[in-house]
A and B are shown apart, each in its own frame.
Chain A
Amino acid sequence: MTERLDLPDTEWRGVSRKYVVVEVVGLIIFGLVVAAATSIPTVISGIQWLAAIPISLGIIFLINILLTPRRVRAIGYMLRADDLVFRRGLMFRRVVAVPYGRMQLVDINRGPLDRAVGLSELKFVTAAASTGVVIPGLPEQDAEELRDTLVALAESRRAGL
């Protein structure tokens, strides 16, 4: 395996390990729904080979679930002097740098699964829709502290659009 796209000399801060649970449970629920929906044709028509669709989808979900711990480990962020860098993805790696002054607002979201294990998701919004910085799996306390830090940093480096 060749090395992955990364920033040299970067101390990434990872997200909570509990986020693996959230991801896995979410994938299992989604996988079951998809498998149930795609097996309807087989059940109704009784044609054997149509069962290949739910089975193959199930295998994809299984691989996905097995890779989840590594994928969660790949999520990282770092507060540099003037910008926030964020990294995610195993197969599809993406690294984003957002200057603090570009922040328009910060969202904190908690889904039902997140709430069950006490995690939050932090969303960093700029004027560009494609920025797409969403840091999942932060413990509630950390997420709120991070938000306050980011807002304070953005305020001190305010720029126009």
Chain B
Amino acid sequence: MSEFPESEHTENEFPENESVAPTARIASLTAEAQRLADGEWHRLHPATPLLRGGIALLAIIGVIIVNARDFFIETLFNSRNEFDPFSQLAEFGLLIPAVLIVLAVLVLSVLGFYFSWRMHTFRITDEVVEVRSGILFRTNRRGRLDRIQGINISRPLVARLFGAAKLEVSVAGQDANVELSYLGSRGADNLRRAILQLASGTRAVEATEAAASREGGLIEQRVNEFLASELDPDAAPPESIVRIRIPRLIGSLVLSEATIIAVAVAIGIIVTISVSGEYLWLFAFLPGVLGFFGYLLSRLTRSLRYSIASTDDGIRVGYGLLSTTNETLPPGRIHAVEVSQPLLWRPAGWWEIKINTASQASSSGQANAKTTLLPVGDMDDVHRVLQLILPSLANAESRELLEAGLAAGAHDDAYVTSPKRAAVLRWFSWRRNGFVMISDAVALRKGAIWRSLVLVPQARMQSVSMAEGPLLRRMGLAELRVHTVAGPISATIGALERSDVVAFFNQVSHAAVQSASVDTSHRWRSGSTKRTPLTASGSAESVTAEPSTPATATAPVPATDTPEATPEATP
């Protein structure tokens, strides 16, 4: 019964200075969010036990009651069914003990759910978000606010009907998220803002108009909540900068490699059946077929109602039709970006954007959803999203380099590419295979058939390495690798001129140190004295190519770890 089995090693780092009431700093928020983020312990939404498994219990009770009713009816009309569990129990005279046992189990589980709800508390202070749970085995998990990698609000269908939402605060690490499930839907949105504001390191938050009308009956409110993908209109710009239309979404799925493989397999099955005349083959492939449709469906639902927008506290990505998910990534939480194009998307000119973040989910489905930032989009969408996630690339020069990075192998651009002798190793892509420094990011351009462009912001690089094997050495070539946190993207580029690699290695390793020393994104607003108006990142810019960037993500202020050390803002 250890008290802190899962907590981060922060016990000593944070003297609990609850004297600094966080409430003062989030004065603009609604009363509920203020109450939840005041540094005291709070309980979750009262419907939590029901949503977390109580529904299964209700179903079991339902089944028992239906059986019991049948039993009584059959007893009355004296037409007993031999295989009915009740009549069998009655035959052995065990009916009463059985009923007692069932009742005891019911009472115990209801009590268990109730107490687990009572014991499940959380608090949000200036420094940490902390959750305590468990009856017999107590768990205490604490996440540091300046280490937040993202805040995710998801609303599974059933929870949505109850007006509840799950809030996950992810910190760096494998499955390292502090989960608050469930909260009131509106409360969750405001709480997210509160946490982000506390985490951002702002000292002064001018009063924004709190979310206005809350009139209307409960039903109307619930309906509004159900329909709105984003519930705090003052915090989120209403317009997503990218819109995925249904035809494009379906087209992107049809043209994916998985579909091609599936069609090939289907043709194989048809041929096999028509040749052998054995319909049994159909059953052999049934699991595969089901799996494929499951995959397509999950990709489809993940991309439906997709939205991406810039907010004061980073990028907000939302998707989902029935169960919705809405994640906020604060600035500087994206460690690597890959823009890539499956072969069949090329005629349509579509691209996909994936990212590496420091918080990983161990289940592959979740991990996939978290790392795909843009499921499908054309060149303009790609530029808009890239400018959102790497604001330093929002200039004409960078745009040109990015376009060169995504275009076919032009050989006279700024990219340092492989020499001609590397054509033995990179048959088609040696003209494309190259690197360049775009503003403050390293860009690696790879592949002629499966084109991709990997971008790593210098401030997020962990280390950089160069390597050679016997073959590369014979050819005077080398490989360069930029190390980032684990994820779907590996920033490696091979078969390059050795002297180029050595020069770039030196350049990158110095730039990485420089960028890291001026990076303040772990407290992303600590450098700013005044917040930009909330309306700045609104819909007007979303039509043009340049949306406004998140407020001062890379302000050149020396890194400060404690909010106390930040320059005092004007109140």
Q: Do A and B bind?
A: yes
Q: Could you tell me which A residues sit within 8 Å of B by CB distance?
A: 2, 4-8, 82-83, 85, 89, 91-99, 101-102, 126-131, 133, 157-161
Query: In the complex, A7 Cα to B468 Cα: how many Å?
Result: 13
Given known A127-B172, A161-B147, A161-B460, contact A95–B505 (CB-CB < 8 A): yes
Given known A83-B513, A93-B468, A131-B483, contact A126–B521 (CB-CB < 8 A): no
Please, which residues of chain A bring their CB within 8 A of the CB of B27? none
Q: Would A7 and B502 count as touching, CB distance under 8 A?
A: yes
Mark B457-477 against chain A: 1 for CB-CB distance below 8 A, else 0.
001111111111110011010
Q: Would B463 and A101 count as touching, CB distance under 8 A?
A: no
Q: Would B466 and A94 count as touching, CB distance under 8 A?
A: yes
- Verify if B132 is at the interface (C-beta below 8 Å from A): no
Q: Would A159 and B519 count as touching, CB distance under 8 A?
A: yes
Query: In the complex, A55 Cα to B517 Cα: how many Å?
Result: 55
Q: Would B466 and A99 count as touching, CB distance under 8 A?
A: no
Please, which residues of chain B bring their CB within 8 A of the CB of A97? 463-465, 505, 509, 512
Please, which residues of chain B bring their CB within 8 A of the CB of A96? 463-465
Please, which residues of chain B bring their CB within 8 A of the CB of A130? 481, 483, 490
Please, which residues of chain A bring their CB within 8 A of the CB of B559? 158-160
Mark B5-25 against chain A: 1 for CB-CB distance below 8 A, else 0.
000000000000000000000
Please, which residues of chain B bring their CB within 8 A of the CB of A4? 468, 473
Q: Count B interface residues, CB 8 Å.
A: 45
Please, which residues of chain A bring their CB within 8 A of the CB of B460? 161
Query: In the complex, A152 Cα to B36 Cα: how many Å?
Result: 39
Partner of A92, one of B469, B512, B517: B469
Task: State the majority secondary structure of interface residues on B.
Answer: mixed
Q: Would B463 and A133 count as touching, CB distance under 8 A?
A: yes
Q: Would A160 and B519 count as touching, CB distance under 8 A?
A: yes
Question: Which residues of chain B (507-565) have a CB below 8 Å from chain A?
Answer: 509-510, 512-513, 516-517, 519, 521-522, 559, 561
Instruction: Give the most central of A5, A96, A126: most B CB within 10 Å.
Output: A5
- Verify if B484 is at the interface (C-beta below 8 Å from A): yes
Query: In the complex, A26 Cα to B175 Cα: how many Å?
Result: 37
Q: Would A95 and B465 count as touching, CB distance under 8 A?
A: yes
- Verify if B180 is at the interface (C-beta below 8 Å from A): no
Can you give 30 contacting A-B residue pairs, CB < 8 Å? A4-B473, A5-B478, A5-B501, A85-B509, A91-B469, A92-B467, A94-B465, A95-B465, A95-B466, A95-B467, A96-B463, A96-B464, A97-B464, A97-B505, A98-B462, A99-B461, A99-B513, A102-B461, A126-B462, A128-B484, A129-B486, A130-B490, A157-B513, A157-B517, A158-B561, A159-B519, A160-B332, A161-B147, A161-B149, A161-B335
Please, which residues of chain B bring their CB within 8 A of the CB of A160? 146-147, 332, 519, 521-522, 559
Please, which residues of chain A bring their CB within 8 A of the CB of B509? 83, 85, 97, 99
Chain B proximity of A113: nearest CB distance (Å): 27
Q: Would B462 and A5 count as touching, CB distance under 8 A?
A: no
Query: In the complex, A102 Cα to B482 Cα: how many Å?
Result: 13
Task: State the majority secondary structure of interface residues on A.
Answer: loop
Q: Would B462 and A127 count as touching, CB distance under 8 A?
A: yes
Query: In the complex, A105 Cα to B147 Cα: how many Å?
Result: 17
Partner of B516, one of A85, A93, A94, A101: A101
Query: In the complex, A83 Cα to B506 Cα: how many Å?
Result: 11
Please, which residues of chain A bring their CB within 8 A of the CB of B483? 126, 128, 130-131
Query: In the complex, A83 Cα to B505 Cα: how many Å?
Result: 13
Question: Which residues of chain B (301-322) have a CB below 8 Å from chain A?
Answer: none
Q: Would A128 and B519 count as touching, CB distance under 8 A?
A: no
Please, which residues of chain B bring their CB within 8 A of the CB of A127? 172, 358, 462, 485
Q: Would B521 and A99 count as touching, CB distance under 8 A?
A: no
Query: In the complex, A20 Cα to B67 Cα: how many Å?
Result: 77
Chain A proximity of B321: nearest CB distance (Å): 33
Please, which residues of chain A bring their CB within 8 A of the CB of B490? 130
Instruction: Give the most central of A128, A129, A131: most B CB within 10 Å.
Output: A128
Instruction: Give the most central of A7, A101, A160: most B CB within 10 Å.
Output: A160
Please, which residues of chain A bring their CB within 8 A of the CB of B468? 4-5, 92-93
Given known A5-B502, A128-B486, A160-B559, contact A101–B517 (CB-CB < 8 A): yes
Q: Would B522 and A128 count as touching, CB distance under 8 A?
A: no
Give the residue name and chain of the B residue nearest to A160 (CB). B522
Q: Would A128 and B465 count as touching, CB distance under 8 A?
A: no
